[in-house]
Structure 1
């Protein structure tokens, strides 16, 4: 499984059946199916990942918006018929994550009514799911299968038919209102909509915060967390749903039906380059995960961040410019990917998941349950296997806020990985 597959695998709650898991008999069948697909003009199309969200239609049904990321060899664009002709989509409803009792199931035809092509590699599937009798909440397990093979991709999603939260009924859409945005950030001056499936027009309160949130602390820091800070609201204004919007200032925006609501819709409005980081003052901050205290103080206290950052990397690489360039490229590619994948109410690189991803890279597999994710890293040079456990925590801005369970026992794994960064030994 390649690096991109792994990245999307753990973000999007996917379980992949790799070729190594197939029996010889199934491998032969897989080869026959691939040959048949090639003969019919369908080149190999690989599903890299799935991300899904629901919106309530009424108390008896929800609409599912599922984004599917694909690839073909040599970066060849994926045609609409390559996707719809090669895969099927089915789902099963369960009472919760621990139960295997089937409450309902369905097959989703992949056709002009259900599938929109977003780009050369991205598609969105929209379909409705009805509520099982006497079950206001369920877990949906969706399965996209490759026709004629045993390859499949799974995606789980908790559904709430009673829609107690604003985010159960409204979501961010791109400006046409057709494509739901499966992310918690936009860029300054982007145009978007906040809408429900019925295109309801209603006012929402918007609170803007300019707070610069702290980055994640060390995986070995087991000190009790400090009490949550009270954030000062910079601006309050109102908007209407189903109306084109744009935000002209960076910051954290929080949208609610009432200013006293405990939950709402959080949105990070970032500079035009985000998730890339290009400003020297920004680029100095993520290196704190691999730096000593004095180095961090020098980087944050400098009046010339570009010159100080250049000197920092060259010093680590003992003046080896080529090694410095290669390590810088790998490091900031991971920072950008962390921003893309894990931005919640703060930039992705600052989150616990972002920190682990930047230093350790993508995990080899992920184990998920209702309120927990476990990232599993298989054998490396200095350890046999290591798990990082992330627990879901309540957060008023986003639903997917996870915190790392910290242990001092991570030291013999973490420090060698940091040293590998500091010596230019990390490769993609």
Structure 2
């Protein structure tokens, strides 16, 4: 772990530092989880990626593991201001009075890839809803990053009393891992965990204006793979997803999605054919699926659609960059690009505004040369595998803007 050096300041500099540190928190007076715009968490140009991973140590006692991924190169701790809070509702004000600053002395680890904080929190007996929020402010531009997760709410089954860690002891801060890559699981009770493998493959989701119900598999294959020991490297050798539990009689567990070696990028031409479904006509996609030489068929598809080789190269680069970001941001037991949020993100781009509600997430896109917005609402669904499962509220009213975005892609004019 990097040695932490505590800096000393003359009184005048200390006062300036304190005023700068407190300013962003004062500006947040009366803001709530429902009113803060969290679009920066989905930006392609974010400098940090935040996460809160709760380990449930008792019914109302949680260890908040807070890794902050360093996307920006040559990052300096002093550039950012860190704080957290546990809220009792999505309507509770986020203020300087309840935000708890995190300083360099609070770092558990400072690695090449992460800052890592830990804090234990006890939820009062009379509190039935608890949401942990991590806030990081970039002091250069004033950008504010947020990440929140329910500790206690009607939308979660609870949290496991164990977690997985990378080789540098930083908590596993994503839901996917390449198969055969090792993780180390640690817990406070017991000596082993149980592993269940689901080899399920998922279809591409229906478009936003398709209101008929999606096909649901009548049965899901699950293979119990037995127990494995805590505090020892563990890898998973099959693609699909795994659900890890300490107690098979409980609903609490941890999801690990296993992916191919190229993920979150596209692996091969077969996968590329699947992914262009969002901007293809049905006839075009069926022809690609039936083609013997997928590379040749895709070359003809892109050039035929865009009429210019350089334009085609640019669009291919942008489209699959969107797929990559969708996979990073929205993968759960499905690949991110196959989720409803991943589908909208791929076609429409990063949303201009993102607002959370206890029961959902609302994205807005600002129309060019207009004050109007198009809004996508994702309903939150309680799911044993993940606390962050969302389904798009589909509507025929979304069709005009959806087709407009697809046309923009097909004309080579999509820019982010």
Contact 2:244 2:254 in 1 (8 A): yes
Q: Which residue of 1 aligns with 2:384?
A: 396
Take 1:115 and 1:226, find their aligned partners in 2: how far apart are those partners? Answer: 46
Q: Which residue of 2 aligns with 1:140?
A: 132
Q: Which residue of 2 aligns with 1:372?
A: 360
Take 1:403 and 1:140, find their aligned partners in 2: how far apart are those partners? Answer: 23
Of residues 61-70 and 281-290 in structure 1, the stretch that sits farther from structure 2 once superposed is 61-70
Deviation (angstroms), 1:101? 10
Take 1:378 and 1:54, find their aligned partners in 2: how far apart are those partners? Answer: 35
Deviation (angstroms), 1:304? 1.8
Question: Does the alignment pair 1:238 with 2:231?
Answer: no
Q: How does 1:78-89 map to 2 (within 5 A)?
A: 78=75, 82-83=76-77, 85-89=78-82
Mark the CA change 1:208 to 1:111 in structure 2 (over 3 Å): closer, same or farther.
same
What are structure 2's unaligned runs of at least 5 residues?
1-34, 41-45
Q: How does 1:220-299 map to 2 (within 5 A)?
A: 220-227=209-216, 229-234=218-223, 236-259=225-248, 261-299=250-288
Deviation (angstroms), 1:332? 0.6
Q: Deviations over 1:331-367 (max 9, x none)?
A: 0111111111111101011000111011000001101
Mark the CA change 1:295 to 1:208 in structure 2 (over 3 Å): closer, same or farther.
same
Take 2:370 and 2:219, find their aligned partners in 1: how far apart are those partners? Answer: 42
Mark the CA change 1:310 to 1:379 in structure 2 (over 3 Å): closer, same or farther.
same
Deviation (angstroms), 1:326? 0.7
Secondary structure at 2:181 match in 1: coil
Take 1:274 and 1:47, find their aligned partners in 2: how far apart are those partners? Answer: 21
Mark the CA change 1:214 to 1:89 in structure 2 (over 3 Å): closer, same or farther.
same
Contact 2:86 2:131 in 1 (8 A): yes
Mark the CA change 1:186 to 1:363 in structure 2 (over 3 Å): closer, same or farther.
same
Q: Which residue of 2 aligns with 1:184?
A: 175
Q: Which residue of 1 aligns with 2:53?
A: 53
Take 1:149 and 1:295, find their aligned partners in 2: how far apart are those partners? Answer: 45
Q: How does 1:17-28 map to 2 (within 5 A)?
A: none
Deviation (angstroms), 1:118? 3.4
Contact 2:152 2:158 in 1 (8 A): no
Question: Does the alignment pair 1:77 with 2:74?
Answer: yes
Contact 2:48 2:70 in 1 (8 A): yes
Deviation (angstroms), 1:149? 9.2
Q: Which residue of 1 aligns with 2:400?
A: 412
Deviation (angstroms), 1:54? 1.3
Deviation (angstroms), 1:168? 3.3
Q: Which residue of 1 aligns with 2:86?
A: 93
Mark the CA change 1:236 to 1:92 in structure 2 (over 3 Å): closer, same or farther.
closer
Aligned residues: 374
Deviation (angstroms), 1:227? 4.6
Contact 1:208 1:236 in 2 (8 A): yes
Q: Which residue of 2 aligns with 1:305?
A: 294
Question: Does the alignment pair 1:155 with 2:147?
Answer: yes
Secondary structure at 1:355 match in 2: helix
Contact 1:201 1:242 in 2 (8 A): no
Take 1:71 and 1:227, find their aligned partners in 2: how far apart are those partners? Answer: 37
Deviation (angstroms), 1:132? 2.8
- 2:107 aligned to which of 84, 102, 114: 114
Q: Deviations over 1:168-226 (max 9, x none)?
A: 322221134x2112211100111102223x3x443332222222111111000111344
Contact 1:47 1:153 in 2 (8 A): no
Take 1:369 and 1:395, find their aligned partners in 2: how far apart are those partners? Answer: 17
Over the aligned positions, Cα root-mean-square deviation in angstroms equals 3.0
Mark the CA change 1:205 to 1:304 in structure 2 (over 3 Å): closer, same or farther.
same
Mark the CA change 1:313 to 1:381 in structure 2 (over 3 Å): closer, same or farther.
farther
Deviation (angstroms), 1:252? 1.6
TM-score by length of 1: 0.78
Contact 1:114 1:127 in 2 (8 A): no
Q: Which residue of 1 aligns with 2:411?
A: 423
Take 1:235 and 1:16, find their aligned partners in 2: how far apart are those partners? Answer: 39
- 2:163 aligned to which of 145, 168, 171: 171
Mark the CA change 1:228 to 1:258 in structure 2 (over 3 Å): closer, same or farther.
farther
Question: Does the alignment pair 1:322 with 2:310?
Answer: yes
Deviation (angstroms), 1:109? 4.0
Question: Does the alignment pair 1:355 with 2:343?
Answer: yes
Q: Deviations over 1:49-100 (max 9, x none)?
A: 422221123345322122334566xxx511xxx31x3444343433222345
